[in-house]
Amino acid sequence: MTCSILGVDDEKGQRDILQTILNKEGYRTACVPGGREALAALAEEEFDLILTDLKMQGMSGLELLEQLLADNPGQCIIMMTAHGTVDSAVEAMKKGAFDYLEKPLERDDLLLTLQRASGHVALLRENSVLHKKLAETITIPNIIGEHPKIKEVFRIIAKIAPTSSTVLVYGESGTGKELVARAIHDRSPRHDQPFFAINCAAIPESLIESELFGHEKGAFTGASSREIGLFEAATGGTVFLDEIGEMNIALQAKLLRAIQEKEIRRVGGKVNLSVDVRIIAATNKDLEIEIKKGNFREDLFYRLNVIRINLPPLRERGSDIATLADFFVRKYAVATGMPVQGLAKQALKLLLNYCWPGNVRQLESIIERGVLMAEGSLIQPEDLPSEIHGESLGGGKLPFEFPPGGISFEELERDLIIKAMERADWVISKAAPLLQMSYKTLQYRLEKFGIERP
């Protein structure tokens, strides 16, 4: 790539000499008569190298150097100086100039210095590209993959981790939402402060407020002493609220206040307490649908949804299944001491053809079982659980014959949806892939047929 050079000198004869030599050597060159003009030129166009005189009318070369490096610390600048001002040129190098040349300029010295400077610029450019690639290829412990969807997750984490913005992570059960939350915390300025996680669906409504905000002595039956909650304990750190969609409306209002005002009040307390925590929330529900149903506050949703990360289900990143399986084989072979080195071709084929309603967590569990069950160095099909061997309906054959009076397609669809929901323990995100539907489509069909959990 041709190096671009901006020459700065208040002597027209010197500018003409520079232009002639540099153009002949193939450099893309522009020359201006002073520092102000140089700044104007740089506002319009980038230059790889700046070659400036030290002593000039108006803005001196040293003043130009200081302003250029303040705006762009990586700018490569070479000073030109008369014999009597070499000390000033050395001072310029201490302030960040790449090198200096004595006037009158010797052609060979000029070209040699420019060659070294060009190499320096190329090295800086290469390092910048490498740093960018490194940021894009950030990995998260136990979240492995090269699929574009998971690489986009890595890119977002690298971008937003250094901030304190709230984050909302969407993903089905087993996709690694807490791992993402921990990765954000670990790469943030809060990394040496506490990280606390709480599953909003796993704690009774009567206790979750106390878990989050603490309580005073006597606040309720059994409150024999004052207890601080996660928000106080995590001050300076991060609180991860998993399954935020299960939080009741009344507590959502208090969480909104904690985020907006950075204040909490213990259960039974009368004093507001300042807290400094970063909130990362996660859900497998479509919160915008929950808002329409009146189950989730719209204002809280917008407070949480500053940064949104969509974790893809494993079935949408099938190219990563083999990589993940190999990772888990090595992990559990070491953990168990079993001499397992991989999967047989047929076993891997079964994994690639499976729909993975439980996502990466299910894959990890199945590989752990396979390592324990394997008789040799490879996991065989018989070492995998029965659900992996599920037979598909091939050849256009259905497992029944049409009755004489025909069938109702809507009744058949309803029965299939109920059967899938029962198999998935009434978790929509697990039932949807069994029916090869999206989450929203299955949600709509459940409402259409009035299907509810018995």
Asked, colleague to colleague, whether 314-389 and 409-449 share their fold, the answer is no
What b/e sequence results for 24-62 when a residue is b if at least 16 CB atoms lie within 10 Å of its CB, and e otherwise? eeebebbbbbbbebbbebbeeeebbbbbbbbbbeebbbb
- Whether 394 has a pLDDT exceeding 50, the answer reads no
Better-predicted residue by pLDDT, 160 or 142: 160
- 406 vs 266, which has greater pLDDT? 266
Residue range 125-145, pLDDT digits in tens: 877 666 555 544 455 666 788
Q: Give the model confidence (pLDDT) of 14-23 as tens digits.
A: 899 999 999 9
| pLDDT at residue 395 tops 80 | no
Q: In whole angstroms, what is the distance from residue 415 CA to residue 441 CA?
A: 16
- Class for the domain spanning 4-133: alpha beta
Residue 391 is predicted with a pLDDT of 45
pLDDT score recorded for residue 420: 86
pLDDT of residue 182: 94
Note the pLDDT of residue 400. 54
> 97: exposed, middle or buried (C-beta count within 10 Å: 0-12, 13-18, 19+)?
buried
pLDDT in tens, 165-193: 999 999 998 899 999 999 999 999 999 99
Q: Report the pLDDT value the prediction gives residue 73, as an integer from 0 to 100.
A: 86
pLDDT reported for residue 397: 46
Among 51, 24, 38, 161, which Cα is nearest to 113's?
A: 51
Q: Which fold has domain 148-310?
A: Rossmann fold (3.40.50)
Task: Tell me what pLDDT residue 393 has.
Answer: 39
Residue 337 has pLDDT above 70, yes or no: yes
What gap in Å lies between CA 354 and CA 364, rounded to an integer? 14
Arithmetic mean of pLDDT, 400-412:
64
What are the counts of helices (DSSP H) followed by strands (DSSP E) for the chain?
18, 14
| One CATH from 3.40.50.2300, 1.10.8.60, 1.20.1050.10, 3.40.50.720 for 314-389 | 1.10.8.60
Of 19-23, 50-54, 126-130, 205-209, the range with the lowest mean pLDDT is: 126-130
Q: What pLDDT, on the 0 to 100 scale, is given for residue 405?
A: 59
Flag whether pLDDT at 154 surpasses 70: yes
| pTM over cut 0.75 | no
Please give the structure tokens belonging to residue 185: 């915390």
Q: How many other β-carbons are positioned within 10 Å of the β-carbon of residue 2? A: 9
Report d(CA 432, CA 426) in Å as an integer: 10
DSSP β-bridge partners for residue 32: 8
Confidence of residue 196 (pLDDT cuts 50, 70, 90): very high
Contact 138, 157 (CB under 8 A): yes
The residue ranking higher by pLDDT, 138 or 241, is: 241
Q: How many CB atoms lie within 10 A of CB 382?
A: 13
**Which residue's structure tokens are 């018989």?**
382
Q: Is 115 helix (H, G, I), strand (E, B) or coil?
A: helix
Tell me: pLDDT of 270 over 80: yes
What lies within 8 Å, CB to CB, of 350 at 6+ separation is 381, 384, 388, 389
Sorted by sequence, the CB contacts under 8 Å of residue 36 that are 6+ apart come out as: 58, 59
Is residue 47 within 8 Å of 30, Cβ to Cβ?
A: yes
d(Cα 21, Cα 27) in Å, to the nearest integer? 9
Q: What is the pLDDT of residues 274-292, one digit of tens each?
A: 999 999 999 999 999 999 9
Query: What pLDDT was estimated at residue 263?
Result: 92
Give per-residue pLDDT as tens, 77-96.
999 988 667 788 788 888 89
Q: Identify the pLDDT of residue 246.
A: 92
CA atoms within 13 A on the CB side of 266: 21
Domain boundaries, given as residue ranges, for the chain: 4-133, 148-310, 314-389, 409-449
Name the least confident of 30-39, 81-90, 219-228, 340-349: 81-90
Say what the pLDDT of residue 252 is. Answer: 95
Confidence of residue 27 (pLDDT cuts 50, 70, 90): very high
What's the pLDDT at 37?
Answer: 94
Q: Is the peptide bond before 404 cis (omega within 30 degrees of 0)?
A: no
Fold of 409-449: Arc Repressor Mutant, subunit A (1.10.10)
- Give the least confident one: 205-209, 400-404, 414-418, 442-446: 400-404
Query: What pLDDT is stored for residue 129 in this prediction?
Result: 67
Kindly state the average pLDDT of the residues 182-206: 91
